[in-house]
Amino acid sequence: MFVPVLVLTARESWHEKVQGIDSGADDYMGKPFRIEELLARLRALIRRASGQATPELRCGPVTLDPRVAKVTLNGVPVKLTSHEFRVLSYLMHHRGKVVSQSELTDHIYAQGFDRDSNTVEVFIARLRRKLGPTFIETVRGLGYRVQAA
């Protein structure tokens, strides 16, 4: 298993960067840095570690580009609400794995949200209408899954 390494340090001279990368680091950031840049670099490292070179996620005919919040089905743009996009993005980032309803709720809402609500089921139903009835699989009693292929 490949574990990416990002060095965060106050040392930022070019020879220290070279030494850090030659010592096994995959990326190197000197202080001060913006959290947005750190998160972007972490996303890039995770993509490369999982064998994915681009930030686009593909599952069969569906492509999701998180950089521009765009989803296409067979190359045709699909309009999604922000919550639908977040649900789909989470499922596609965890493709092949069963994601529970409570995990999806935690991902798309603040902690004070009513856990007994059926809004996740509503978002899943809307996504199925837009992407096809078989794209998101229900695993009875466990949650939802988007297949990796």
**Which positions ≥6 away from 2 have C-beta within 8 Å?**
49
Residues 68 and 34 in one domain: no
Amino acid at 140: R
Question: Which is nearest to 57 in space by CA: 81, 86, 89?
Answer: 89
Number of domains in the chain: 2
pTM: 0.65
Residues 70 and 22 in one domain: no
Residues 37 and 68 in one domain: no
Asked if 80 contacts 128 with a C-beta cutoff of 8 angstroms, the reply is no
Angle between helices 101-108 and 119-131 (to 10 degrees): 90
Residues 138 and 78 in one domain: yes
Cα separation, 145 vs 149, whole angstroms: 12
The answer to whether position 92 is within a domain reads yes
Can you give the residue range of the structural domain that contains 17?
6-49
Residues 67 and 41 in one domain: no
Q: What is the pLDDT of residues 34-85, one digit of tens each?
A: 888 888 888 888 877 766 556 688 888 999 988 788 999 999 999 999 889 9
The answer to whether position 1 is within a domain reads no
For residue 112, give the CATH number of its domain.
Answer: 1.10.10.10
Reply yes or no: is the peptide bond before residue 77 cis, omega within 30 of 0: no
**Which positions ≥6 away from 96 have C-beta within 8 Å?**
145, 146, 147, 148
Q: What is the pLDDT of residues 110-125, one digit of tens each?
A: 655 555 678 889 999 9
Residues 44 and 61 in one domain: no
Residues 109 and 43 in one domain: no
